[in-house]
Structure 1
Amino acid sequence: MSLTQLLIFLGIALGFRLALSLRPAAEGGRGWFLLTVSALAVFWLQPAMPIRNLDFWLPLATLGLAVWGWIFTTPREARGGRENYTALGVLAGVVLAVALTRFVSLEGVITPSRPPQLGLVAAGLVILAGVSALWMRFSSPQSRWLSAGMAALLLLFLAIKVPVLAEGVSAGLRTLVGQSAARAAASDLRWLGFSYIAFRLIHTLRDRQTGRLPLVNLREYVVYALFFPALTAGPIDRLERFIKDLRKPLETLSVDLMAAGPRLAMGLLKKFVLADSLAMAALGPQNAAQLQSTGWAWAALYAYSLQIFLDFSGYTDLAIGLGRLFGIQLPENFNAPYLKPNLTQFWNNWHMTLTQWFRAYFFNPLTRSLRSAKPPLAIPWVILITQLSTMVLIGLWHGVTWNFVLWGVWHGLGIFVQNRYSDWAKPLAARLEDHPRLKALAQGGGVILTFHFVSLGWVWFALPTAADALRVFRVLLGL
């Protein structure tokens, strides 16, 4: 989200709240307003694509996935009703309105490029409506359908994240629209917010499978899945928490402004002032190629560590502030992670909604499975397998490359070693309780050690290849 886009969203939010303050009876339309704006934002925030009209078709596919997620998680008897059909009509209207902008300009108005011809858009809507109607008629929220939905989302994730698969998909799409397949590249498929949307949809599919998902209408489900402040980079909210805010009355404008104002100001400072300034000196492919001295290498690494935190936590502040203006209290995502004394606490306070998602849907089920195995595995082996596999998956979620795998292994092994050390050092930690100064010294040493371990791990994260990362490690170590 650019600064211009953010300011426009902020203007929309303030205009909406001012209109409600003049006409409080219109508050019942908040859900419909959020549905419309979030659907438009999916098109508007989508970056430009080298494949013709893909910056229109991918947002349309996003809307389709959200509708299908609701169909799969909703009992048949709850799928009808005037409100649900009205929501479908609003979404179709947004799509047609965006398509009609092709007659306003030769360039894109909402989408980065000019939308496709109306006949193609109509055909796309008919196909989506036909598939949706079949699933509404024949599918049910049973385990096999829900599992199939989760598998389809994972396969789609792999198709756009695995470089060789993404390149093949790009070549096929280029051929379909009459462009040169020889110019296909994995970077052609930049699907806005897909990773976060997929996590929200998988959460609802899995919770329906286990009987924990509340019943919601289509409007509420789509607003949850596509809520525009959190669309591109989280936080990853839960449906049951989100709809409580969506259904309750708004606070007064002054109360929400007092809560949102400081978060928005802090987010602007972090993301667009501090993080953007640090980016010029931070470790990256271009800067890494020029590093020759150990001192400058450490300076670039420290700059990257601060830049990635300020950029990401700044976006979270902006998302939380914007959400609050619409009455939605998005969950926190960062809690001073670089000031934590060990790696476990770091990951409990860095991108918290992501780690909580993996803990709920992967780590905990895998741990229970391994502990109930016959014969049971030793506890250290359970810890090693679960921590290592969880962190590797988190790495792969960022991108299916060897560097992200190595970054996951780095943190998985680090958490395992820290866990084993903490277990061994429990008697020593107990004795430190009677010596506050020694305890504070040990805590400070833990913070410094953890920060440097995490910072060194960013080398794998920031660079495209293992060879680049190993070269930077050599410079950092003065070799």
Structure 2
Amino acid sequence: MTLLHILAFCAFALVVGLLLPRRWRGWLLMAASVGAIYALQPASTIRHLGFWLPTGTLALTVFSWALTAPPEERDRKQTLATGLTLVVLVLLIGALRYAGPLSRVLEARPPTMPPILLALAVVAGLTALTARFFAKKRWLGGAFFAFVLLLFLILKTDPWGQAVSAWLRAWSGQSVDLASALDIGWLGFSYVAFRLLHTLRDSMQDRLPALSLREYLTYVIFFPAFTAGPIDRAERFVKGLREPKALSAGDVWEAGQRIVVGIFKKFVLADSLALISLNAVNAAQVSSAGWTWVLLYAYGFNIYLDFSGYTDVAIGMAKLMGITLPENFDRPYLKPNLTSFWNSWHMTLAQWFRSYYFNPLTRSLRSGKRLPVPVIIIIGQFSTMCLIGLWHGVTWNFLIWGAWHGIGLFIHNRWYEWARTRPSKPNAPLWLQRVGQVGSVLLTFHFVNLGWVWFALPNPELAIQVFGTLFGM
């Protein structure tokens, strides 16, 4: 999301919050979110892929809704109205191909109308059949859950992404030799996938509230949170969508402050630090331990300011429209231990994995064989963090980064349990307590920042070389 996008979206959000009647707000938010995912999607070197990827997002979302919606939602007149509105919106976006200068609002040129009409007909037909005959079928919900996971895995694995790129290039009559995984830059799919998986899983367990097609679409592709989160829960989001908070002068001021802070963090601080942040090029060139530490610190603050800056903008933008998004960061670099760090860094992602992987896994391990508690903890924490690493990309370095944090969390858990059983001692002097607190924060900060070495670099060999430089080896 560029600065121009942010300013345009903020102006739109302010108009929605101040001027639009509540009864029309849901429709306009859905329409704006549909338009936004096309406008934000980067162009691809594969012909027209920049149009088909957001169209695929809409198709997956509509199909997922058809699988999860109760009968009373599928049969409502509003569902037909939403479907027709969605078709009209996609056709209007496709018509920008013929709109001359107006087509510049899209980075990717749409294809001609016949393939768009065919695609819409196929999606509409499959959705109608699913809603009529297969809705709430657990086996189909499970199969679609697996399909979304497989699609996510393909996009995150470079060799598979390159193979898909080659196939698409051959289909469109382009050179297969130029195929690259970078051709398939499906904007926002990481977050879309986790929202779909959340609703599919909750539906299979009969925990998902009834959502209209319009509400479901808006939840999955809500434009402030589309590119960088946070990952809200459907029941929480739709409550705010149905009952948006009336916008007061104080709300406008608070939201504006949040947006300005986010813009400053992202476009001033983070983008400046990016010039001296650790990367594959300077990691191989810098031989001084001192300068390598500077590069590493710059990267650590860059990734935090960039990510939290976008989150601030998203939360502020949503607030202008009367919707409260969940917080995603809470001063993570000031936490005294790794557990507290992960309770304050990318909180909605950590909560997602806790709800849908860690908690079910540990419950299963406790109910089966009588495994020792430390074994259950190391299996749960280590595998969870490895999956969080692979969520960023299926590479050795992301896997090692996840393992780094998994081991760190286990060590902290064992230390905490050991310290809790020690006999209590008289209160230490206040100065000594403060020294201990500062030391804990510094230790956690450096453990996290050393972990960024794996995250920032493309392969283990270069990461090991950087560790050697950092410690003068």
TM over 0.5: yes
Distance (whole Å) between structure 2 residues aligned to residue 48 and residue 100 of structure 1: 17
Is the CA contact (8 Å cut-off) linking 1:342 and 1:447 kept in structure 2? yes
Mapped pair 1:360 → 2:355: yes
Please state how far the C-alpha of 1:288 moved relative to its aligned partner. Answer: 1.3
AA at the equivalent of 1:393: L
TM-score normalised by the chain length of structure 2 = 0.97
Please state how far the C-alpha of 1:237 moved relative to its aligned partner. Answer: 0.2
Distance (whole Å) between structure 2 residues aligned to residue 221 and residue 287 of structure 1: 45
Distance (whole Å) between structure 1 residues aligned to residue 35 and residue 138 of structure 2: 33
AA at the equivalent of 2:2: S
- Fraction of identical pairs, as percent: 51
**Using a 3 Å threshold, how does the CA distance of structure 1 residues 476 and 250 change in structure 2: closer, same or farther?**
same
Name the structure 1 match of 2:469.
475
Distance (whole Å) between structure 2 residues aligned to residue 201 and residue 29 of structure 1: 25
Mapped pair 1:422 → 2:406: no
Please state how far the C-alpha of 1:259 moved relative to its aligned partner. Answer: 2.4
Which of 365, 373, 378 is 1:379 aligned to? 373
AA at the equivalent of 1:415: L
Distance (whole Å) between structure 2 residues aligned to residue 429 and residue 14 of structure 1: 58
Is the CA contact (8 Å cut-off) linking 1:432 and 1:438 kept in structure 2? no
Distance (whole Å) between structure 2 residues aligned to residue 301 and residue 426 of structure 1: 34
Which of 106, 109, 114 is 1:114 aligned to? 109
**Using a 3 Å threshold, how does the CA distance of structure 1 residues 429 and 107 change in structure 2: closer, same or farther?**
farther
**Using a 3 Å threshold, how does the CA distance of structure 1 residues 235 and 249 change in structure 2: closer, same or farther?**
closer
Is the CA contact (8 Å cut-off) linking 2:17 and 2:322 kept in structure 1? no
Which of 307, 312, 317 is 1:322 aligned to? 317
Please state how far the C-alpha of 1:188 moved relative to its aligned partner. Answer: 1.2
**Using a 3 Å threshold, how does the CA distance of structure 1 residues 297 and 118 change in structure 2: closer, same or farther?**
same
Which of 104, 110, 118 is 1:123 aligned to? 118
Q: CA RMSD in A?
A: 1.5
Name the structure 2 match of 1:288.
283
Name the structure 2 match of 1:50.
45
AA at the equivalent of 1:400: V
Name the structure 2 match of 1:196.
191
**Using a 3 Å threshold, how does the CA distance of structure 1 residues 101 and 27 change in structure 2: closer, same or farther?**
same
Name the structure 2 match of 1:157.
152
Secondary structure in 1 matching 2:394: coil
Is the CA contact (8 Å cut-off) linking 1:17 and 1:253 kept in structure 2? no
Distance (whole Å) between structure 2 residues aligned to residue 424 and residue 358 of structure 1: 27
Mapped pair 1:311 → 2:306: yes
Number of residue pairs matched? 473
Mapped pair 1:345 → 2:340: yes
Which of 142, 149, 152 is 1:147 aligned to? 142
- 5 Å-filtered alignment, 1:32-43, equals 32-43=27-38
Distance (whole Å) between structure 1 residues aligned to residue 166 and residue 101 of structure 2: 26
Uncovered stretches (5+) of structure 1, i.e. residues with no partner: 21-25
Q: Deviations over 1:450-471 (max 9, x none)?
A: 0000000000000111111111
Name the structure 2 match of 1:173.
168
Name the structure 1 match of 2:407.
413
Please state how far the C-alpha of 1:429 moved relative to its aligned partner. Answer: 8.7
Please state how far the C-alpha of 1:32 moved relative to its aligned partner. Answer: 0.2
AA at the equivalent of 2:443: L
Distance (whole Å) between structure 1 residues aligned to residue 263 and residue 117 of structure 2: 40
**Using a 3 Å threshold, how does the CA distance of structure 1 residues 197 and 443 change in structure 2: closer, same or farther?**
same
Distance (whole Å) between structure 2 residues aligned to residue 346 and residue 82 of structure 1: 47
Please state how far the C-alpha of 1:265 moved relative to its aligned partner. Answer: 1.3
AA at the equivalent of 2:240: D
Please state how far the C-alpha of 1:386 moved relative to its aligned partner. Answer: 0.6
Distance (whole Å) between structure 2 residues aligned to residue 236 and residue 7 of structure 1: 22
Distance (whole Å) between structure 1 residues aligned to residue 150 and residue 116 of structure 2: 25
Distance (whole Å) between structure 2 residues aligned to residue 261 and residue 368 of structure 1: 44
Please state how far the C-alpha of 1:202 moved relative to its aligned partner. Answer: 0.7
Please state how far the C-alpha of 1:419 moved relative to its aligned partner. Answer: 1.1
Distance (whole Å) between structure 2 residues aligned to residue 199 and residue 249 of structure 1: 24
Mapped pair 1:388 → 2:382: yes
Name the structure 2 match of 1:63.
58
Distance (whole Å) between structure 2 residues aligned to residue 311 and residue 152 of structure 1: 31
Distance (whole Å) between structure 1 residues aligned to residue 131 and residue 409 of structure 2: 45
Q: Deviations over 1:210-236 (max 9, x none)?
A: 121111111011101110000001000
Uncovered stretches (5+) of structure 2, i.e. residues with no partner: none
- 5 Å-filtered alignment, 1:202-217, equals 202-217=197-212
AA at the equivalent of 1:172: W
Is the CA contact (8 Å cut-off) linking 1:108 and 1:115 kept in structure 2? no
Q: Deviations over 1:123-154 (max 9, x none)?
A: 11111111111111211213222211211110
Q: Deviations over 1:56-96 (max 9, x none)?
A: 00000001111111111112343022111111111111110
Please state how far the C-alpha of 1:256 moved relative to its aligned partner. Answer: 2.4
Structure 1 range deviating more: 101-110 or 462-471:
101-110
Name the structure 2 match of 1:219.
214
Please state how far the C-alpha of 1:107 moved relative to its aligned partner. Answer: 9.0
TM-score normalised by the chain length of structure 1 = 0.96
AA at the equivalent of 1:16: V
Structure 1 range deviating more: 448-457 or 83-92:
83-92
AA at the equivalent of 2:425: R
Please state how far the C-alpha of 1:416 moved relative to its aligned partner. Answer: 0.8
Secondary structure in 1 matching 2:276: coil
Name the structure 2 match of 1:23.
none
Distance (whole Å) between structure 2 residues aligned to residue 191 and residue 83 of structure 1: 30
Is the CA contact (8 Å cut-off) linking 1:105 and 1:114 kept in structure 2? no
AA at the equivalent of 1:33: L
